[in-house]
């Protein structure tokens, strides 16, 4: 399927053409991140704040928005990461993909998928048995 048809008929492959037309007419580009996401701002929402948009390069994947851009998108800050006065906080970590459903997913102690033996029950817990 061609890129044009994907953008025309599906919302999960980038953005639809009518959305891109809206951005072209009513929004200005603010910046771009290391994943290829492009950020725009334009118009006003019901609270009088500027609308903020993101255009994904491929499949729409909101978890690929870095922390600095996430704060900007949700009006936590008005300083976008490309701004010279932007400073990342020490607690902001680089993006890691969601590994749920993959072999690299997190499995806590006691999980059926975790290798090794399940930890023994301590004295503060009595397991239920159907015969009791």
Q: What is the pLDDT of residue 130?
A: 87
Q: What is the arithmetic mean of pLDDT over 45-67?
A: 83
DSSP for residue 13: B
The verdict on residue 131 lying in a domain is no
Q: Say yes or no to pLDDT of 121 above 80.
A: no
Local confidence band at 12 (pLDDT 50, 70, 90 cut-offs)? low
Q: Are 37 and 55 in contact (CB under 8 A)?
A: yes
Cβ(65)–Cβ(71) below 8 Å: no
pLDDT per residue over 21-54, tens digit each? 666 677 888 899 888 888 988 888 888 888 888 8
**Structure letter (DSSP) for residue 64:** G
In the prediction, which pLDDT does 57 show?
Answer: 81
Q: Is residue 82 part of a domain?
A: yes
What are the tokens at 39?
A: 């950020």
- Give the chain's domain count: 1
Q: Please, what is the end-to-end C-alpha distance for the chain in angstroms? A: 62
Overall pTM > 0.75: no
Task: Evaluate whether residue 11 is within a structural domain.
Answer: yes
CA distance 54 to 79: 16
Coil/strand/helix, residue 19: helix
pLDDT value of residue 81: 86
- The pLDDT of residue 123 is 72
Per the structure, the complete domain to which residue 15 belongs is given by 1-126
pLDDT tens sequence across 88-111 = 778 877 777 788 888 888 888 777
């Amino acid at each position: 399927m061609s890129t044009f048809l994907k953008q025309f008929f599906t919302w999960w492959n980038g953005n639809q053409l009518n959305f891109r037309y809206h951005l072209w007419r009513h929004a200005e580009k603010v910046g771009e991140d290391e994943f290829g996401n492009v950020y725009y701002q334009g118009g006003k929402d019901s609270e009088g704040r500027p609308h903020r948009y993101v255009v994904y390069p491929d499949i729409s994947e909101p978890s690929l928005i870095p922390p600095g851009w996430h704060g900007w998108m949700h009006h936590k800050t008005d300083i976008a990461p490309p701004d010279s006065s932007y400073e990342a906080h020490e607690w902001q970590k680089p993006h890691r993909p969601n590994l749920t459903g993959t072999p690299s997913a997190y499995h806590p102690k006691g999980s059926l998928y975790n290798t090794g033996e399940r930890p023994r029950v301590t004295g503060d817990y009595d397991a239920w048995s159907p015969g009791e």
